[in-house]
Amino acid sequence: MKNKLKISIVTSLILVILGLVAYAGLKIYTIYETDKNGNSKLSSSLSDGKSVSGGLDSTANAANASSKVNYSIKASSGLEISQLTNQGDDINVSLSFTQDSYYPSYYKEEIEKTAKTIAANDSDDAVKYIFATDFHYDISGVTTDIMERTAHSIVDLANNCDIDFVVIGGDIYNGQVDEGRVEAMRRLNAFSTILEACKVPVFIVEGNHDDNSQAYGSPTKYLEMNELWLTPDDWYQSTMAHFSTGIKDYKDGYYYYDFPDKDLRVVVLNMDNVDDNLDPMGKMNTWGYSDEQVDWLLNKALARDNCRYMIFSHDGFAKMWHSSYQTGIDGTNADTIEAIMTAAASHSKFSLNGFYKDFSSLNTRLEVFSAGHFHMTRETFEEGNNYMPYFNTECVKFNENAEYYRNSLGFDNAGKRTYNTASETVYDVVISKPSASEFDILRFGNGYDKLIKY
């Protein structure tokens, strides 16, 4: 009886706390645990920006929490994130490897496992894409090895699994090439050449490191840095010139691509689209979207009716930032892009900073906005009449501890990574299924698969 009374008091306190926080306008996430018999129980709750705690281990990785077999995080908006348990082990897949003699066995095994999971979770209305970001591959021999293995695995999944397209989210290399533009372009071309083997469209997003404006390693180069930067044409020739078929309205790293059979338009933005006539350190630290790009987004890219939109950029805007990661971000027109996304998703009127568009009459659906840049995993939602999800994906760049400290900020990195195992790399295969109101996010490499309901 005393135990029941104690539980009742604790439960009442939890409800009071949740009510107070909700009153304060914070989004509440309730974490449930599911045991092996399928029984669910309340584990803990948290508000925006707090880390998962209470029955799950500190990585928030259910796959590594031995006493639990599943979990879900449900937000007040209706968002629910759970571990995807249907791995397709009983499905047979036939795979053809582009690098059969090159791959270590652990990459072949990871490709096979991921291919089975893709097959198990496919649907008629699904759009399936690969999103890999932040390779920073020329930091060391290790990061170069991982880039090559990762890029080949992307080709093999794309070609074997009926993937619709591949997106590379930016920061392919580290952008600190003191040798100059020619060497910087060589590194980008080496990466792009591997992905040319993909039989599906490949979209490369420009990151803040990719124009080589961070080539400040040698102080003697400071005044010569303008000569080290890649021009917009240099960037194009090193990347999207390898995959230009079907690209529409390309200009300075932003463009779109239509999939008529899917009623889908993919829009790629360039967050590094700012004035190049800046001093070297200004160029390095100023990121944003030009007025010209905003006008293009409103009047060309988002002008198609009766379709689904998927938007990709290296960086996003305020809703995708965290207070610890705003240093150095100028954010030029970031608030404008954010307001456009909100208006388009909710089919309402947009007006900000001299730009205007009425989205209320368009029969469209903004399905997802994906970005990298922060080297972490996070899923958030913009609420409205038709809210859309914002996904960040963890970096391919190898860090043995996977920049693990970001979990304490409420992000979801998967923990320790080990070179020469499948956990050395990270990228996502995303399956969007609007008829089921869900996304399956299948993790290649370090981490776990997620089912996201909305």
The answer as to whether 100 is a domain residue is no
Structural domain total, the chain: 2
Domain that residue 230 falls in: 105-447
Do 291 and 181 share a structural domain? yes
Which has the higher per-residue pLDDT, 160 or 179? Answer: 160
State the distance between the two ends of the chain, measured CA to CA, in whole angstroms: 40
Do 141 and 233 share a structural domain? yes
Which has the higher per-residue pLDDT, 243 or 325? Answer: 243
The answer as to whether 93 is a domain residue is no
Burial letters for 391-413: b for 16+ Cβ neighbours within 10 Å, e otherwise?
bbbbbbbbbeebbbebbebbbbb
Express as a percent the part of the chain with pLDDT over 70: 70
Residue 256 reports pLDDT greater than 90? yes
- Please compute the mean of the pLDDT values over residues 271-293 and round it to a whole number: 69
The answer as to whether 90 is a domain residue is no
Residue 101 CA to residue 332 CA, distance in Å, equals 47
Q: Order of strands across the sheet with 254-259? A: 248-251, 254-259, 264-268, 307-312, 364-371, 388-392, 378-382
Do 114 and 10 share a structural domain? no
The letter for the amino acid at 36 is K
Residue 131 reports pLDDT greater than 60? yes
The region that residue 187 occupies, defined by phi over 0 for left and psi between -120 and 50 for alpha, beta otherwise, is alpha
Do 254 and 150 share a structural domain? yes
Question: pTM above 0.85?
Answer: no
The letter for the amino acid at 279 is D
pLDDT per residue as tens digits for the range 314-334: 987 665 555 444 444 455 788
Domain boundary among 58, 76, 94: 76
Q: What is the mean pLDDT of the chain?
A: 77
CATH code: domain of residue 235: 3.60.21.10
Lowest mean pLDDT among 41-45, 83-87, 121-125, 138-142: 41-45
Do 314 and 219 share a structural domain? yes
Please, what is the Cα angle at 390 between 146 and 319, to 5 degrees?
A: 110
Do 140 and 250 share a structural domain? yes
Residue 178 reports pLDDT greater than 80? no
The answer as to whether 94 is a domain residue is no
The answer as to whether 89 is a domain residue is no
Do 149 and 42 share a structural domain? no
Do 258 and 383 share a structural domain? yes
Inter-residue contact 146 to 424 (CB < 8 Å): yes
Residue 282 CA to residue 414 CA, distance in Å, equals 34
228 token code pair: 């080290």
Do 66 and 12 share a structural domain? yes
Do 339 and 286 share a structural domain? yes
Residue 364 CA to residue 386 CA, distance in Å, equals 10
Q: Residue 205: which of 162, 250, 140, 246 has the closest Cα? A: 250
Query: Quick one: pLDDT band at residue 404, thresholds 50, 70, 90?
Result: low
Which has the higher per-residue pLDDT, 226 or 152? Answer: 152
The answer as to whether 117 is a domain residue is yes
pLDDT per residue as tens digits for the range 28-74: 333 333 333 444 433 333 333 333 322 223 333 333 333 233 444 44
Do 146 and 12 share a structural domain? no
Alpha helices in 214-333 (DSSP H): 232-238, 280-285, 291-296
Looking at residue 65, what is its pLDDT?
A: 31
Residue 219 reports pLDDT greater than 90? no
The answer as to whether 364 is a domain residue is yes
Do 356 and 219 share a structural domain? yes
Looking at residue 128, what is its pLDDT?
A: 98
The answer as to whether 81 is a domain residue is no
- Please compute the mean of the pLDDT values over residues 104-128 and round it to a whole number: 94
Which has the higher per-residue pLDDT, 18 or 353? Answer: 353
Q: Give CA separation, 221 vs 1, 140, 423, in Å.
A: 76, 22, 37
- Please compute the mean of the pLDDT values over residues 328-347 and round it to a whole number: 80
Looking at residue 388, what is its pLDDT?
A: 78
Query: Quick one: pLDDT band at residue 237, thresholds 50, 70, 90?
Result: very high
